[in-house]
Structure 1
Amino acid sequence: MSVLFHHLRVHQVFGANTDVGKTLLTTALVRASSLTGKAVYYLKPVSTGPLQDADDEYITRFAGPKASSIQSRCLFRYSDPVSPHLAAQREHGADEAQLSIPSDGTLVKAIRSHIHECARATRERAHMYVETAGGVHSPTLSGSTQIDAYRPLFLPTILVGDHKLGGISATISSYESLLLRGYIVDAVMIFREEYYRNWEYLRSYFAERDINVAVVDPPPPKHADPALNLASTDEYYQNIVPEAQNGSVFDLLNHLDDRHANRIEELNTMPKRTLDTVWWPFVQHGLFKEEKDVNVIDSASGDEFSVFNGRRTQASVDSTKSLLEPQFDGSASWWTQALGHANPALTMAAARAAGRYGHVMFPQGSHLPALKLAERLVKSGPGKGWASRAYISDNGSSGMEIALKMALRAYAVREREHWTNEELAQGRPKNLGVLGLKGSYHGDTIGAMDACEDSGVYTCEWHDAKGYWFDPPTVGVRDGRMVVSLPPAIAALTESGEAEVNEGPIQVVYSVEERLDSDLAEVYRAFIQDMLVKITSQGDLKLAALVLEPIVMGAGGMIFVDPLFQRILVDSVRSSPCFSKTVRREGSWSGLPVIFDEVFAGLYRLGMERTSDVLGVTPDVAVNAKILTGGLVPLAVTLATQSVFDAFYGADKADALLHGHSYTAYPVGCEVANESLRIIDGMAKGGAWDEAKAAWRVAEGESPKVWSFWDPDFVGELSKSEAVGEVMAMGTVLALKIAGDSQGYQSHSAQKLLEGLRVAAEDDESSFGINYRTLGNVAYFMLSLNTPTETVRHIEDRIWRTLQPAEA
């Protein structure tokens, strides 16, 4: 929603409080801008009180000798001189208020639309001032605080300071509130009140922060006689905004113009500077060498980036196009976003913990953010009913390294009586490996990479794949119907020998318990047991853990594995004679410890808090990250059973889990995670997703096994597209595989086919670009947990229309 123009400088004016002279000083700016020969636009988004007292009327009244160059406008006007939210409620009436009062989204869209109108109205350099109401936290029409409501616009800000008693504190507090929400504060304006001299203190305070403070003489006392008051006020403006164009107000204008120009210059130079100094993750720099390939993100709010597109539009200094355009964050910023960018509740949580703790070391320690997070995850979250311990680290890959250490040690300790003399001499076995699935990915640290097959993609020179990986059956929607695709080795064991099996619609496929007695389940059991016998009877490598990405393997290509196969694999590993040495005890693991890598799939990314609710089995170790902190800061938690914890318990420090990070249990991350989980729990239990769930249920009143924010009819129709080979949707995720492309990760087909999505549709002013990610021949799109329904429908429409030329 953010806007930026070469020729139109726009500043939003916030006040540190009510009655600080915000309109008086904005009038001075408007008048000064007009005297420099520029067109000037003034906007009061919301006004309350009689028309004769309205701020936009005041601006017109004292516009000065160049009044013809000034356009003044108010968008929403209410006659009652009270707070906007109360004025709106009284005017609309209590019964209809909720339906009639403009939402924050409506308000912001109206402001943005008006700014665009003003930009189109002139090609000459112009100034615009958007004056807010009251203080920074005064309510909007909907009742939310205006500092949050206006944040998507991300307009550079002028803060009018409070010159009265207590004004120093009010001004600094307002500034910090703006700063916490990412606003660019270009200047502070304040009256020169000589008794309290707030301006003197604030000028010094803001100088240390490189913020210009314009000090302006205060207005004369108000006359009882309207004619005398009008004359004295006009004389006041002639003094502080002289036609000679000198003084503090004009100095401020020059400063604001410089800041505007510097911002554009910075954006212009960022692509080249990036190409010269930055090494991107997962990008082949040989393919992206031009400045146009750099996606410059100026800010982010909600689900959108605000991206600098000056290099694409080649906007000149007199262009009427915004240099910024909205771009939907279609990968949820690598799967981390859950509640939108710049979420104020998460920002405040981070500030709260940073202010209280900063970072504190954690060995033998405790602090409330970490303790509450551990208790929440173990007792009522994804660990409920099976986990007893939570290890808090700093990212998903680290969390998986810890999980592997836990599982391998648990296996080694239980198998100690079977160690060889060499292993006893070494103190531990060294030839341990894992069991997993082809296409899995657990992070880019060396140990996590070693727990995956050598695919040639997520590897390095030190990579030493340790284990065996099954080629799993997958599920997806093809030509309007749900199919289970079997690898050749499994298909050969079925009665039909076909590679595709129709197990029924999606709700049936994910009813795992009901499918356990099916013919396909017997095929899976026979295949897995036969393979376990072969694997364990050859080679020196000992399988010591089962490592799974439940339900879907993300980085491997959004591979939706048949949940029945994963369930039977867990059951088989825990009961197979191949691992009979490890006999299950009450509350303890059997066969092999089972690790669930839920870094991607956990915490409602797929519409469920934990994947074990679908699979019907719980792990021995599980890792959560990504959504955990709502996309604000990195954090991961590895959950473990008591029996796994006991493998490290003893009197010898060498037996402990000797693993740690400087930022283990980072208080800021823990506090943000607690706040994020609190909000998500409220959405899950408060019916926020009921409409989406209803579209996926089979019968009225029935809760679907799995569901998605993506419309099921859209998914079905998309699967019939000639350009699409297979589609799958669950929770926030939509994945589509390009038809006729077998190159996998090395392919560029998905990137090329959908390239048109990256920019907004030219024929739709409300449109936005979509920043999506591809995994070779697979394109995926991801939402937040609070993405508006109308946004989802718009993205679906853009995807559908983009694919149509490929079918022509």
Structure 2
Amino acid sequence: MSLLFKQLRIHQIFGANTDVGKTILTTALVRASAALKNEVFYLKPISTGPMEDADDEHIKRHSSAFKDKVHTECLYRFHVPVSPHLAAQLAAGDESQKIVSDNTFINTVSSYVRRCASRTNGPAHMYVETAGGVHSPTLSGTTQLECYRPLFLPTILIGDSRLGGISATISAYESLLLRGYIVDQILLFRDEYYRNTEFLTPYFAERGIGVTALDAPPSKTDDAVENFESTESYYKNLDMTPVVQNLDARHEQRIAELDSMPRRSLDAFWWPFVQHGLVKGESDVTVIDSASSDFFSVYKNSAIQQNANANMGSSLESQLDGSASWWTQAFGHAHPSLTLAAARASGRYGHVMFPQATHAPALELAERLLNGPGNGWASRVFFSDDGSTGMEIALKMALRAFSVRHNLQNSERKKLGVLGLKGSYHGDTIGAMDACAEEGVYTCEWHNAKGYWLDPPTVSIREGRWVITLPPALAASAGVFDSPAVGGGDSESWVYDVARRLNSPLADVYRDYLSRTLDGLETASGVPRLAALVLEPLVMGAGGMIFVDPLFQRILVDIVRERDTNPSSSSQDDIDTSKSWRGLPVIFDEVFVGLYRLGMQSTVPLLGTAPDISVNAKILTGGLVPLAATLASDSIFRAFYSTEKAEALLHGHSYTAHAVGCEVANQTMRMLERETKSEPWLAAKARWETPGKSSSAWSFWDPQFLQTLSRMDVVDEVMALGTVLAIKVKDADGGYVSQSAKIMLQSLGDSDNASSELPQFSVHFRTLGNVAYFMTSLNTSPETVRILEEKIWKALHNKRADL
């Protein structure tokens, strides 16, 4: 929704306070722009108070000499001289005036700006004047800073020249800065007594922002004619030309910077997961100018666009972040609550080292995690910096616990391996890669797969039915030869009611297959001694959005624990063995799936069994900063407990438990608690409820939409849980290196207007071979999800027609 036009330079006017001269100085800017032969648009989105005192009327009166060049508009006018939110509430009793939502308000402003841009060939200027101070409320009660943020207009701040104005001006600037605004200019009246300018000029010069002080206007008189003439004389004596020229230069610099970024990026970056040989040129580089809520604001250089009228439209395009920025976003981009949490901790602590120390954000977060996803089984939290290192810590914990329990010597400890599932992925650090199967694509020269990986049964929706697909070995074990698909249900409860399914015939097949397989592994050559079970519960993400049958994972955990040899160990004498890990330490990698990504805080209640170690990251900090937490049971912790330093968990990072990350995570956890009780959340869950059936599995994606997709000729299968949607397109070759899903859905990059009620947007999405996946935030509006569903259906439908 951000707006940037090459032919129309736009600035938004914010005030450090009320009554600081916004309208007076904006009028001076309008006149100066018009005097320089520019067409000028003035917009007052909201006006309250009598018409004769309205700011747009003042602009009209004192721009009459430029009436052919100056255009004024007010979008929402209320005649009661109170704050906009109160004016809207008072007017709500009238059927012609309803309280306007932020979304409707911003769309109205955006539409007007776009119309103005389409009317001019430039050069043209626009000034959008706000009301009151930076935090004055808009119609809905949201503060102006937050309400206007999606537009991301460069800003002029009108400073306060009065007593206390230095503090008010700097505070207003910092509030703008914390919300990402670009501040191009500070304007304020000159005052010979308080002399605020003398302090503010060098203060802002250090920040690259110019301060211009101007004479205050004459005092207002009761004589309208005299007042008009004195004010006109005042404006004629103001020289605002340098200010307007500086604003023009800032506008041109911004465009020049954006124009240059693709070429400079191609010369500077080595991108992750990108084959640079397939990058054809600058048009393949996504230039993200800003981000807000669920959308990127992507720059489109008119020189490389095909649209002949590109220079007339906005150079910024709204692009839906269809992968939640690699699965990190919980509440959309640039959420002010998370930004303020980061600033709060940064201002209080910066970063402080953590060994044998504590600080409030870390302690609060540890207790939240132990009482949340770790409730009932975890006793300790080990902090690190990202999911991959969090998993390496988990592996260290599990392998040490196994070694201590079995009194293994160093030479034996070096030969341990893990038990896992094919298609799993636990990160790109070497140790995490070693815990994945060799045939994976995320490998390197040092990668040495250490363990054994079972081929799991998967869950999907095919032809409108929920089915479980067995891998060949399991299919043979179950006596299924003609088709690997087992059964079929009409709702998710058929799959995700694990407790009910534990006594099913398929459960017996799983138990028999797993028992025989594990028996064989004990004597198999080439398989290391297995010392831990490592699982991505329910969904294996990077491996291809593989939805695993939860019953298989539950029985796998049960079987592993039932095979406990119960060795004695003096180091374990002080442990309650009824609470100690059994068989193999079990690790749940919940980096991707945890903290409501799949609609549940943790997968533990659904599976009906807890791990001994788990890892959380990504959503943990709402996608703002890196942080990971490895949770462990007391029996795992005790394996490292000693009076010998060498027996400690000697692992750490310079930024372990950094206060900024912990404080942001605490704020995220608080917001998660509220969001799960919100009306859109509860409404989405209600759509998945089936009378007479119980299941904790549900999705933000509409079940009827999934049914429709699953019946399309070009679709092999679909699946969704929580925020995640996966579409597997039909492709005989398939695999990670396939381009079929990307080709099939490439039209999503077009910004066609799927709904007149919402702004146009394209979709940024990523694929895993022939699997396309989409992911919402936890607070993505239902309207946005429905539009995205429509876009996906259209893309597949049109591609099917082409075929």
- TM-score normalised according to structure 2 size: 0.96
What is the alpha-carbon distance in structure 2 between the residues aligned to residue 338 and residue 308 of structure 1? 24
> 2:443 — aligned with what?
459
Residue of structure 2 aligned with 1:745, choices 716, 730, 736? 736
Check whether the contact 1:693–1:704 (CA below 8 A) recurs between aligned residues: no
Amino acid across the alignment from 2:514: I
- Shift of the alpha carbon at 1:800? 0.5
- Shift of the alpha carbon at 1:688? 4.2
Say whether 1:599 aligns with 2:591: yes
- Shift of the alpha carbon at 1:705? 2.0
Say whether 1:31 aligns with 2:23: no
Q: Deviations over 1:375-397 (max 9, x none)?
A: 00002x10000000001111000
Distance 1:316 1:496, change over 3 A: closer
- Shift of the alpha carbon at 1:671? 0.1
> 1:773 — aligned with what?
766
**Mapping 1:663-674, distance limit 5 Å:** 663-674=655-666
Distance 1:741 1:74, change over 3 A: farther
Matched residue SS, 2:624:
coil
Query: Which segment drifts farther, 532-541 or 65-74?
Result: 532-541
Distance 1:687 1:761, change over 3 A: closer
Check whether the contact 1:3–1:323 (CA below 8 A) recurs between aligned residues: yes
> 1:563 — aligned with what?
550
- Shift of the alpha carbon at 1:495? 3.9
What is the alpha-carbon distance in structure 1 between the residues aligned to residue 322 and residue 39 of structure 2? 38
Say whether 1:541 aligns with 2:535: no
> 1:405 — aligned with what?
396
Distance 1:334 1:153, change over 3 A: same
Matched residue SS, 1:586:
helix
> 2:89 — aligned with what?
89
Matched residue SS, 2:578:
coil
What is the alpha-carbon distance in structure 1 between the residues aligned to residue 61 and residue 748 of structure 2? 47
> 2:788 — aligned with what?
795
- Shift of the alpha carbon at 1:100? 2.6
Q: What is the identity percentage for the equivalent residue pairs of Structure 1 and Structure 2?
A: 60
- Shift of the alpha carbon at 1:313? 2.8
Amino acid across the alignment from 2:406: E
What is the alpha-carbon distance in structure 2 between the residues aligned to residue 764 and residue 737 of structure 1? 27
Matched residue SS, 1:665:
coil
Amino acid across the alignment from 1:401: E
Q: Deviations over 1:618-675 (max 9, x none)?
A: 0000000000000100000000000000000010000100000000001000000000
Matched residue SS, 2:222:
coil
- Shift of the alpha carbon at 1:537? 1.3
Say whether 1:222 aligns with 2:220: yes
- Shift of the alpha carbon at 1:503? 4.4
> 2:518 — aligned with what?
532
> 2:710 — aligned with what?
719
What is the alpha-carbon distance in structure 1 between the residues aligned to residue 132 and residue 307 of structure 2? 36
- Shift of the alpha carbon at 1:65? 1.8
What is the alpha-carbon distance in structure 2 between the residues aligned to residue 572 and residue 50 of structure 1? 77
Check whether the contact 1:624–1:638 (CA below 8 A) recurs between aligned residues: yes
- TM-score normalised according to structure 1 size: 0.96
> 1:590 — aligned with what?
582
What is the alpha-carbon distance in structure 2 between the residues aligned to residue 318 and residue 803 of structure 1? 27
Check whether the contact 2:680–2:782 (CA below 8 A) recurs between aligned residues: no
> 2:495 — aligned with what?
509
Distance 1:778 1:212, change over 3 A: same
What is the alpha-carbon distance in structure 1 between the residues aligned to residue 470 and residue 617 of structure 2? 31
Matched residue SS, 1:65:
helix
- Shift of the alpha carbon at 1:201? 1.1
Amino acid across the alignment from 1:49: G
What is the alpha-carbon distance in structure 1 between the residues aligned to residue 391 and residue 234 of structure 2? 68
Distance 1:650 1:549, change over 3 A: same
Distance 1:719 1:318, change over 3 A: closer
> 1:293 — aligned with what?
284
What is the alpha-carbon distance in structure 2 between the residues aligned to residue 318 and residue 186 of structure 1? 26
> 1:500 — aligned with what?
485
Amino acid across the alignment from 1:339: F
Q: Deviations over 1:44-63 (max 9, x none)?
A: 01110011111011100101
**Mapping 1:277-356, distance limit 5 Å:** 277-311=268-302, 312-313=304-305, 319-356=311-348
- Shift of the alpha carbon at 1:805? 2.0
- Shift of the alpha carbon at 1:686? 4.3
> 2:572 — aligned with what?
none
Check whether the contact 1:696–1:704 (CA below 8 A) recurs between aligned residues: no
Distance 1:218 1:559, change over 3 A: same
Amino acid across the alignment from 2:397: M
Query: Which segment drifts farther, 740-749 or 663-672?
Result: 740-749
What is the alpha-carbon distance in structure 1 between the residues aligned to residue 694 and residue 13 of structure 2? 49
**Mapping 1:395-794, distance limit 5 Å:** 395-416=386-407, 419=408, 423=409, 429-497=413-481, 498-504=483-489, 505-539=491-525, 541-576=528-563, 579=565, 581=567, 585-699=577-691, 704-761=695-752, 766-794=759-787
Check whether the contact 2:718–2:728 (CA below 8 A) recurs between aligned residues: yes
How many residue pairs match? The answer is 789
Check whether the contact 2:492–2:698 (CA below 8 A) recurs between aligned residues: no
Check whether the contact 1:315–1:321 (CA below 8 A) recurs between aligned residues: no
Check whether the contact 1:6–1:317 (CA below 8 A) recurs between aligned residues: no
Check whether the contact 1:407–1:593 (CA below 8 A) recurs between aligned residues: yes
> 1:375 — aligned with what?
367
Matched residue SS, 1:569:
helix
Residue of structure 2 aligned with 1:135, choices 110, 133, 136? 133
**Mapping 1:228-239, distance limit 5 Å:** 228-239=226-237
Check whether the contact 1:476–1:726 (CA below 8 A) recurs between aligned residues: yes
- Shift of the alpha carbon at 1:613? 1.3
- Shift of the alpha carbon at 1:772? 0.5
Unpaired runs of at least 5, structure 1: 241-246
Q: Deviations over 1:110-146 (max 9, x none)?
A: 1110000000111121000000000000001111111
- Shift of the alpha carbon at 1:314? 5.4
Matched residue SS, 2:424:
coil
Check whether the contact 1:315–1:323 (CA below 8 A) recurs between aligned residues: no
Amino acid across the alignment from 1:500: A
> 2:115 — aligned with what?
117
Check whether the contact 2:497–2:695 (CA below 8 A) recurs between aligned residues: no
> 1:43 — aligned with what?
43
- Shift of the alpha carbon at 1:22? 0.3
Amino acid across the alignment from 2:556: L
Amino acid across the alignment from 2:248: D
What is the alpha-carbon distance in structure 1 between the residues aligned to residue 64 and residue 694 of structure 2? 66
What is the alpha-carbon distance in structure 2 between the residues aligned to residue 456 and residue 485 of structure 1? 21
Check whether the contact 2:731–2:740 (CA below 8 A) recurs between aligned residues: no
Amino acid across the alignment from 1:124: G
- Shift of the alpha carbon at 1:804? 1.1
- Shift of the alpha carbon at 1:598? 0.2
Check whether the contact 2:754–2:787 (CA below 8 A) recurs between aligned residues: no
What is the alpha-carbon distance in structure 2 between the residues aligned to residue 581 and residue 437 of structure 1? 27
Query: Which segment drifts farther, 169-178 or 688-697?
Result: 688-697
What is the alpha-carbon distance in structure 2 between the residues aligned to residue 678 and residue 616 of structure 1? 25
Check whether the contact 1:6–1:318 (CA below 8 A) recurs between aligned residues: no
- Shift of the alpha carbon at 1:506? 1.5
> 1:191 — aligned with what?
189
Distance 1:234 1:325, change over 3 A: same
Q: Deviations over 1:128-187 (max 9, x none)?
A: 000000000000111111100100000000000001000000000000000011100000
Matched residue SS, 1:133:
strand
Q: Deviations over 1:395-441 (max 9, x none)?
A: 0001000000000001000000xx3xxx26x5x62110000000000
Residue of structure 2 aligned with 1:207, choices 177, 194, 205? 205
Residue of structure 1 aligned with 2:146, choices 148, 168, 179? 148
- Shift of the alpha carbon at 1:762? 5.9
Check whether the contact 1:529–1:576 (CA below 8 A) recurs between aligned residues: no
Matched residue SS, 1:193:
coil
